[in-house]
Amino acid sequence: MNYETLGLKENPFRLTPPLDPKEIVWAGMSEVKSKLEKRIELGIRTRPSRIILNWGSYGSGKTHASLYFSKTDRLQELTTKLDAKPSKSIKITLPRSSSDIVQEFLRSFLGQYSLEEIYSDFQKLKDEVGEEQLVLMITNFSNDTVIGEVFKTLINTEDDKYFNILKNYIYGDSTKSTLNSLELPYGLKNDEQVANFIATIINCVTYEKQHYSSFIIWLDEFEDIDTIKKILADRFTTFLRQFIDKTPNNLMLFLNFTQKAFMDREDLSISLGEALSSRAKLKIDFENPTTDEAIAYVKELSNIYLIEDKELPFEDDALIKYVVEHMGNLTTRKINETFSIILEMALIEEKEKIDQTFIDSIQDEIIAWEE
C-alpha cells in the first residue's frame, strides 16, 4: 500500500521542512509570496539595506519562506527577471546554545556561506574589478586594520595549508603560532570585529551590485531572543545594530517572529531595541489563510504530487472545505498536519477516494478537528 493508490507520488503535506531543495515547493498563499517577492525585488533593484520583520503565528510559513528563497531557484528567477546579477540568500537560526552568541552567529553564517565559497567569490571579484580596486574596497569597508589584513591575505592565498590557518583564525583560533603565521597581532574575538568581518564580506560581494545584486539573511526563530539570558540578548541586538550600520547597502535582513503571549509585555517589538526597530520599516504579516486560501493551498500542493492522468483523492472541493471549516484558526502547519493524517488514515483503511463519511469516521484521529 503506498500513495500511488491515492493517485499521489508522495504525501504532499510535510510535517518537517524538507532537506532536498527539489522538495521545497510553494503552494497557495499567493499574497504572502507576492509581498515577499516585492520586497526582495526592491532589494535587488535599489541600494539601501533594509530590515524586514516577518510576523506570523506558529506554523504560518516563515521558516518555509526562508528555505524557499535560500534553497530553491526562485531567487535567481527573480534576478533574471530584473536583469540583475544573482542574489545570495542564507537562513540562520537565532543562536541560543552558546555563551558567546556573536561567535555562534559567525559560525552559523560561515556554515551557510562557507569560507571556501567566500574565497571563490572574492577571487571572481578580483577578476571583475581588479586587485587594486578590491584592496581599496577592503580597506574602506573593513573599518579595522586587522580585519582588512585578513581579507587582503585571503585574496592572495593560493596555498591550501595557509588557507586552513586563515580558516582556523576566523573560527577563533588565536594561538601564537597561528597569529605568527598570519602576521596578525590578535584574534577575531571582539563583537565589533565580527560585525566588521561579516560587513566587509557583504559590502565587497555586493559592491555596485557587480557580483551579487543583494545579500539576504533570514534570521529565523527570532522570538527566542526572549528565552536567552538578557545580557546575551542585549549583546546580540547591539551586534546586529552594528552589523546593519556597517552594511548600509544591498543587505536585506528578514527577522522571523512567531507571535506569542508574554506575561509582562505586549509582544517582542521591545526585544529589538529602539535602534533596530527604527531601522525596521518594512513588515510582512504571515496572516492565517482564509477558507478559500486554505482550499487553494490543499489543491495546489496536492496537484504538485499528483501522478499524471490521476485525480485528486478528495471527493470534491466541498469535502476539502468541510475539513478546513472544522479546523478552527487556520495555519499552514495545521492544514499540513490535518491533511497528512487524513491521507495516512486513507492508506491504513485502504481507501482510494476520501469522502465525508470517511472523514467523519476518523475525526478522533485529527487533532485540530473542532465541531
Partner 1 sequence: MNFVLCVHYDIMKNEMINFNSINTQTKVRRLAYVKTLMTMFLKSSYYPINLFYKKIESEAGKQNDDLLKYINNKGFIEVSKTGNSSKPYIETFLALKLLFTQNNMYRISKYGRVFNILQNELDIKTDNYFLLTTYEKAFLLYSILEKDGLYLQLIIELIEEKKQISIKDTKEVFQDFILIKLEESMYSLDMSSKLKKDVLLRIKRIKNWENPKRYLEHIIEPRVNWLLDLGFLCEDNFQKNILVLSEKGLLFFKEIKTSFDINQNFFTLIHRVYFDNTVVSLEKNDFALVTNYLEKSFILFKTSAPNRVTASQAILYTCYMMLFKENRIVNFSTIQDYLSSKENRKFIYDWYKTEQDGSIRRKK
Q: Which chain residues interact with partner 1 by CB under 8 A?
A: 53, 55, 57, 230-231, 233-234, 257, 259-270, 272, 274, 277, 280, 283-285, 287-288, 290, 329
To 5 degrees, how large is the angle CA 104–CA 105–CA 108? Answer: 90
Nearer to partner 1, 57 or 143 (CB): 57
Nearer to partner 1, 108 or 288 (CB): 288
Nearest to 79 by CA among 203, 207, 211, 200: 211
Nearer to partner 1, 270 or 367 (CB): 270
Q: Minimal distance in Å, beta carbon 30 to partner 1?
A: 13
Nearer to partner 1, 32 or 198 (CB): 32
Q: Minimal distance in Å, beta carbon 53 to partner 1?
A: 6
DSSP code for 258 = E
DSSP secondary structure, 5-57, as one string = GGTBSS-S--SS--SSGGG----S-HHHHHHHHHHHHHHHH--B-EEEEEEE-
Q: Minimal distance in Å, beta carbon 31 to partner 1?
A: 9
DSSP secondary structure, 323-369, as one string = HHTTSSS--HHHHHHHHHHHHHHHHHTT-SSB-HHHHHHTGGG-TT-
What is the enclosing helix (H) or strand (E) of 105? helix 101-112
Nearer to partner 1, 266 or 352 (CB): 266
Q: Minimal distance in Å, beta carbon 16 to partner 1?
A: 23
Nearer to partner 1, 113 or 222 (CB): 222
Q: Minimal distance in Å, beta carbon 186 to partner 1?
A: 29
Q: Minimal distance in Å, beta carbon 102 to partner 1?
A: 17
Residue with cell 527570532: 222
Residue with cell 520586497: 39
Separation CA 143–CA 174 (nearest Å)? 20
